[in-house]
Amino acid sequence: MKDSYTLKSLAVLLENNKISSKELTSEYLKNIENGKDLNCYNTISQEKALIDAEKSDERRKSQNLRSKYDGIPIGIKDLFCTKGVATTASSKILSNFVPNYESTVTQNCDDAGLISLGKLNCDEFAMGSTNKTSFFGSVKNPWKSVNSDNELVPGGSSGGSAAAVSGDLCVASLGTDTGGSIRQPASFTGTVGLKPSYGRVSRWGIVAFASSLDQAGPITKTVEDAAILLDIISGHDEKDSTSSVNPKENYYENLNSDIKGMKIGIPKEFRSDKLPASTQKSWDECANLLKTNGAEIVDISLPHTMSALPAYYIIAPAEASSNLARYDGVRYGLRVKGNDLIDMYEKTRSEGFGDEVKRRILIGTYVLSSGYYDAYYIKAQKIRSLIKSDYVEAFKKVDAILTPSTPSTAFEIANEPSDPVQNYLNDIFTVPVNLAGLPGISIPYANDENNLPIGLQLITNSFEEQKLLNVAKNIEETINYSETPEKWWLK
Amino acid sequence: MVAQMIEDWNLVIGIEIHAQVNSKSKLFSSSPTDFGSKPNSQVSLIDAAMPGMLPVINKFCIEQAVKSGIGLNAKINKKSIFDRKNYFYQDLPQGYQISQYKDPIVGEGFVEIETENGQKKIGVERLHLEQDAGKSLHDQDPNFTFVDLNRSGIALMEIVSKPDMSSPEEAVEYVRKVRSILRYLGTCDGNMEQGSLRADVNVSVNKPGNELGTRCEIKNLNSFKFIHAAIVYEAKRQIKLIEQGESVNQETRLFNTQSGETRSMRSKEDAHDYRYFPDPDLLPLTLDDDWIKGLQETIPELPDQIKERFINEYSLSSYDANIIVSDKATSKYFEDVVKNRNPKLVTTWVTGELFSILNKKNLIIEDSPITSKQLGELVDNIENGKISNRQAKEVLEEMCESGKGALEIIDEKGLSQISDENEIESLVDNVLNSNPENVKKYKNGKDKLFGFFVGEAMKLSKGKANPKIVNDLIKKKLSQ
């Protein structure tokens, strides 16, 4: 396996008949087999992937390609409904669920000829930032600290999606991001993770966590690949009422790393004494780099940043408590027999959901209850509006905002804080972006003193994905980050 | 009878009508809505709340709701919001019903009803759109409840009245009127037997001058008869409680159609906390002025306007006009018959004989065995004196059986009326001459015998003589 594989490079190899889709798919299936210890995949679509690859090769022969990327295998977070392939949301309650329909995003991939290698592990119902809440067990980060042999979390909730790309168990993957679930694991694994603007990508057929925040996006090795995959998955979908009718751009074709004259904002509220020195250093360096490349660095203020996390942990659980009501044992998924309807509900949901999911359902139910609704839900919505207007103001002054992606690099699986609130702090830099509905991208910048990737986050105004990708490309080109994890799982 | 028992009491009644939107597909999915289809044959992925499914508003249902709002003289809200009403039940696949809570699509309006004391305005508080739930079947298996999701997701309009009604009769009139308006608009078929229109009735009682009483809600009444009976029962029950020194508990009650009683379903304390919040899958619904204006132009003539026109154009009494316009099909039937005919005669025949035939056969006017054309022909033959009213009834009955036209039946039965005065005069002479005794008695003051002479003359003519001419001639001859 060549580490230089990207969507872009594979398209060229396929085009020049240097490799067939079947060979490529087999190679990745072998990597997946060899990488089982990473626990990235919940379902491996061995047979289907190979059949699909053969079909792609035939299309290539008959010059009937669906796109330039026809025949490239990718991984899919186990939150996207896939026809005939188990879709579990990494939850016991859906562990036996096989949809007879295909999500819009995965259909778009199929329409472009991409091949699914299987379904990637994630936090249960995308609730978590360590991938430890999965019913199928933790995903392991391909990276390890130089100072320890202990296994690290890959981040979450799209932990499988990020680890699989980082460990070459696929060249690119699909994730979803509700409060940082693409960007945080991308940051922890040295990959590129893009959360598009709310409404840019259809939510139809994706198991819902928090409908007003959920957004699907790519996790890739390069900014170019992120643009390529975004081109494939995005666009208006009349089946999703919140899908934007804003015309989408041709992100990859229009990619342009020239940032001369752009203004890049550094929000003072994201500064913290608790930020690791190496992260702070990367952030500062990156700002200087952008300045050197012709951008102007502007200090800005996003005054309500500190209220974002509390507001998020009211809004997201509130929506989740309602979204997850359908998992009741009546029509599909797990059913545990009970003496009567209520008993069946209680037993099914008690057994079917894990602790973190239950915790959020309880929080959500509580904050929507009469008597508490105004104090929590309404107040959180007001904060959300204030955060949105913070960014509206900021984007009057700057083109993009640069922040760290996460307050730390990947930590040991065994060291996950037992206090859930501590864990929630993992998303402190990413959550405001979801609340404001903006696009955000995490790109690897450097490795820290333990040789673990540090991710930086760029944010732009709604539907300015092009600008976001352009700035990211500029950084990527300049730093030429090329660190890869040592493949300890092969030993 | 209620009036007697509750003489000293005020009744305060408010009604929530659930009217199924007349639409080929559901509120948020494209599934069909046909009544009586095979269980679970009209269920999309969305209706079954499969993972990842999202609602998309059916624009036609929005149109129907706005039209209904216009028909109820109500304010159309240019921005409304769909909320989730959360509760668990086996026939509620999402675990929530999408409804409208704080910001309904239609605001305040009113309808006018006829009461004993003339016209009365009943306020409409709001109209909002919501999804119906599925149906639980408890009688299919000893151990399991079966669920039919055909109804799941069908669009309902909930029309909430103000507590403006003060008798069961007014309540029934109100529901009739709303139903009639919706049927004229074509926004709800109003079929109460099939559950397309059902009512939840709130009832409270209080002594005049006192504060309002505690109300009880009686759920799911699907006929005018039940609405009336449930209110009567409930009012009496509440009065009895208060008179016994007890108090009325605020609760939801069910009406037993067999016993005519209401019984408690759940008390206020047991009421669900529905945890309403705006559905994040749906954007706020916004309507623009031009679109509303465009819809306004499609609104047909509504019962109140038609009634006024009938009174002006055809000099109908308010009472008759009300009966005729209460139903769209009836008013159309009437208009078809009345064109170029005597309105009084037509009214009598439509509201009298025709209605009685339909009632007897338990038919709606759309299924009338006598077409408006046939009835028109019959009225023509009465009007031109060819047949008497009595003969006309005979013809109508035959028409109903055979479907033949009036003239054909008149010919076949030889019913054509004798209107020739000379012919009738000889009949009358014959009768008077054969009964000299009775003529004498009549002249001595036994007036009642007049009918006897008429009867004999008609008998002699085999019923064909024009009764008016017979009457006139006998009167004339006997006064000579």
CB atoms within 10 A of CB B407: 16
Task: Tell me if residue A239 is catalytic.
Answer: no
Catalytic residue among A8, A68, A77, A119: A77
The answer to whether B319 contacts chain A (CB < 8 Å) is no
- Interatomic CA distance for residues A229 and A248, integer angstroms: 13
In a 10 Å sphere around its CB, with 0-12 CB exposed, 13-18 middle and 19+ buried, how is residue A288 labelled? exposed
Residue B1 has pLDDT above 50, yes or no: no
pLDDT at residue B5 in the model: 59
Task: Tell me if residue A157 is catalytic.
Answer: yes
Question: For chain B, where do the domains classified as CATH 1.10.10.410 start and end?
Answer: 421-478
CA atoms in the 13 A half-sphere facing the CB of B253: 28
Task: Please indicate whether, in this complex, the C-beta atoms of B53 and A365 are within 8 angstroms of each other.
Answer: no
Confidence of residue A1 (pLDDT cuts 50, 70, 90): very low
The answer to whether A97 contacts chain B (CB < 8 Å) is yes
The answer to whether B286 contacts chain A (CB < 8 Å) is no
Mean pLDDT of B432-440: 89
Ramachandran sector of residue B358 (left: φ over 0; alpha: ψ -120 to 50; beta: rest): alpha
- Interatomic CA distance for residues A279 and A447, integer angstroms: 9
Confidence of residue B348 (pLDDT cuts 50, 70, 90): very high
Task: Please indicate whether, in this complex, the C-beta atoms of B52 and A81 are within 8 angstroms of each other.
Answer: yes
CB atoms within 10 A of CB A61: 10
Residue B400 has pLDDT above 80, yes or no: yes
In a 10 Å sphere around its CB, with 0-12 CB exposed, 13-18 middle and 19+ buried, how is residue B35 labelled? middle
Residue A130 has pLDDT above 60, yes or no: yes
Using CB atoms, pick whichever of B52, B84, B147 lies closest to residue A206: B52
Confidence of residue B4 (pLDDT cuts 50, 70, 90): low
Within a domain: residue A159?
yes
Nearest-Cα distance to chain A for B195, in Å, is 25
Residue B182 has pLDDT above 80, yes or no: yes
Nearest-Cα distance to chain B for A199, in Å, is 11
The answer to whether A87 contacts chain B (CB < 8 Å) is yes
Task: Please indicate whether, in this complex, the C-beta atoms of B277 and A322 are within 8 angstroms of each other.
Answer: yes
> Taking a C-beta distance cutoff of 8 angstroms, is the pair A338, A344 a contact?
yes
Catalytic residue among A21, A129, A181, A442: A181
> pTM value?
0.90
CATH 1.10.10.410 fits B421-478, yes or no: yes
Q: What is the mean pLDDT of chain B?
A: 92
**Total length of chain B:** 480
pLDDT at residue B388 in the model: 80
The answer to whether A311 contacts chain B (CB < 8 Å) is no
Query: CA–CA distance from A247 to each of A199, A277, A464, B332 (Å)?
Result: 11, 42, 11, 51
Domain count, chain A: 1
Query: CA–CA distance from B444 to each of A127, B457, B471, B479 (Å)?
Result: 108, 21, 19, 12
Confidence of residue A425 (pLDDT cuts 50, 70, 90): confident
Residue B183 has pLDDT above 70, yes or no: yes
Q: Which domain CATH number covers A231? A: 3.90.1300.10
- Interatomic CA distance for residues B472 and B452, integer angstroms: 14
- Interatomic CA distance for residues A294 and B10, integer angstroms: 81
Within a domain: residue A154?
yes
Catalytic residue among A45, A157, A166, A197: A157
Task: Please indicate whether, in this complex, the C-beta atoms of A241 and B277 are within 8 angstroms of each other.
Answer: no
pLDDT digits (tens, 9 = 90+) for A362-416: 999 999 999 999 999 999 999 999 999 999 999 999 999 999 999 999 999 998 8
Mean pLDDT of A241-252: 92
Nearest-Cα distance to chain A for B128, in Å, is 20
The ipTM of this complex is 0.96
- Interatomic CA distance for residues A75 and A173, integer angstroms: 5
CB atoms within 10 A of CB B71: 23
Q: Which of B26-35, B40-49, B259-268, B406-415 has the lowest mean pLDDT?
A: B406-415
Mean pLDDT of A81-105: 98
Q: Determine the structural domain holding residue A141 and report its residue range.
A: 7-261+398-490
Task: Please indicate whether, in this complex, the C-beta atoms of B273 and A369 are within 8 angstroms of each other.
Answer: yes
Estimate the crossing angle of helix B389-402 against helix B406-413, to 10 degrees.
110
> Taking a C-beta distance cutoff of 8 angstroms, is the pair B378, B408 a contact?
no
The C-alpha torsion from A401 through A406 and A409 to A411, rounded to 10°, is -170
Six-digit token string for A176: 């979803």
- Interface A:B, Cβ pairs < 8 A: 95
Residue A2 has pLDDT above 50, yes or no: no
Confidence of residue A3 (pLDDT cuts 50, 70, 90): low
CB-based contacts of A418: which residues, under 8 Å, 6+ apart? none
> Taking a C-beta distance cutoff of 8 angstroms, is the pair B14, B178 a contact?
no
The answer to whether B56 contacts chain A (CB < 8 Å) is yes
Q: Which residues of B touch A437 (CB under 8 A)?
A: none
Residue in B with minimal Cα distance to A87:
B51
Residue B269 has pLDDT above 80, yes or no: no
Task: Please indicate whether, in this complex, the C-beta atoms of B49 and A326 are within 8 angstroms of each other.
Answer: yes
Q: Which residues of B touch A241 (CB under 8 A)?
A: 54-57, 281-283
Within a domain: residue A267?
no
> Taking a C-beta distance cutoff of 8 angstroms, is the pair A22, A60 a contact?
no
Residue in A with minimal Cα distance to B278:
A319
Mean pLDDT of B230-251: 94
Q: Which of A95-109, A269-283, A328-342, B429-443 has the lowest mean pLDDT?
A: B429-443
Contacts 24+ apart (CB under 8 A), B207-214: B207/B8, B207/B9, B207/B10, B208/B8, B208/B9, B208/B10, B212/B12, B213/B12, B213/B238, B213/B242, B213/B248, B214/B247, B214/B248, B214/B249, B214/B250
pLDDT at residue A4 in the model: 75
CB-based contacts of A262: which residues, under 8 Å, 6+ apart? A290, A294, A295, A296, A399, A400, A467, A471
Q: Which residues of B touch A322 (CB under 8 A)?
A: 84, 86, 95-96, 275, 277
Six-digit token string for B426: 């000889």
The answer to whether B285 contacts chain A (CB < 8 Å) is no
Using CB atoms, pick whichever of A318, A328, A377 lies closest to residue B88: A328
The answer to whether A319 contacts chain B (CB < 8 Å) is yes
- Interatomic CA distance for residues A131 and A182, integer angstroms: 12
Using CB atoms, pick whichever of A99, A326, A377 lies closest to residue B95: A326
Confidence of residue B40 (pLDDT cuts 50, 70, 90): very high
- How far, in whole angstroms, is CA B141 from its chain's centroid? 37
Nearest-Cα distance to chain B for A78, in Å, is 12
pLDDT digits (tens, 9 = 90+) for B112-164: 998 888 889 999 999 999 999 999 999 999 988 999 999 999 999 999 999 99
Which of B97, B275, B282 should we substitute to test contact with A (largest number of A Cβ atoms within 10 Å)? B275
**Total length of chain A:** 491
Within a domain: residue A346?
no
Peptide bond into A157 cis (omega under 30): yes
Q: Which residues of B touch A212 (CB under 8 A)?
A: 280
- The alpha carbon dihedral of B321, B324, B328, B330 has a sign of negative
Confidence of residue B268 (pLDDT cuts 50, 70, 90): confident
Task: Tell me if residue A77 is catalytic.
Answer: yes
> Taking a C-beta distance cutoff of 8 angstroms, is the pair B415, B464 a contact?
yes
Within a domain: residue A481?
yes
Within a domain: residue A353?
no
Task: Please indicate whether, in this complex, the C-beta atoms of B53 and A204 are within 8 angstroms of each other.
Answer: yes
Q: Which residues of A touch B275 (CB under 8 A)?
A: 321-322, 365, 368-370, 373
pLDDT digits (tens, 9 = 90+) for A184-201: 999 999 999 999 999 999
Residue B32 has pLDDT above 90, yes or no: yes
Within a domain: residue A337?
no
Within a domain: residue A1?
no
Task: Please indicate whether, in this complex, the C-beta atoms of A322 and B275 are within 8 angstroms of each other.
Answer: yes
Task: Please indicate whether, in this complex, the C-beta atoms of A94 and B53 are within 8 angstroms of each other.
Answer: no
Confidence of residue B403 (pLDDT cuts 50, 70, 90): confident
